[in-house]
Amino acid sequence: MRIALIAHDNKKEEMLQFVKTHQEQFKKHILSATNSTGKMIKENTLLDVYCHLSGPLGGDQQIGSEIATGNVDLVIFLRDPLTAQPHEPDITALLRICDVHNIPVSTNLATAEVLIHSTS
């Protein structure tokens, strides 16, 4: 599977711990991420991650484009629901494109757990 990983700043540590916990599972898949999330994962695991731009600079839109062209099968997007995001329209567009193309998307750890276990 081709899995996209995105995490808001206040959720990056949670994403890293999630990926480390499931590193053996993630090794079986092709990973992409927004820039700072991807770099963090690459620096702290043995996983290969293709990095797009950072979310606010267009990374969310790049991943959306990959979804629209059939190059993403699953999205794990740990959102921070308590902090306003200056690029909220991009986030909404990304979630919308997941719905349009019927791509499973997780916006919290509980759903991410369910999705990663479904990939085995």
Domain around 103: 2-118
Q: What total of structural domains would you count in the chain?
A: 1
Catalytic residue among 60, 73, 80, 99: 60
pLDDT at 90 over 90: no
Numbered residues of the known binding site: 8, 12, 54-55, 87
Segment 17-26, tens digit of pLDDT: 999 999 999 9
What pTM, to 2 d.p., does this model score? Answer: 0.95
- Quote the percentage of the chain above a pLDDT of 90: 84
**48 annotated active-site:** no
**56 confidence band (pLDDT: 50, 70, 90):** confident
Buried b (16+ CB within 10 A) or exposed e, 40-54: bbbeebebebebbeb
CATH number at 56 reads 3.40.50.1380
Numbered residues of the known binding site for substrate: 8, 12, 54-55, 87
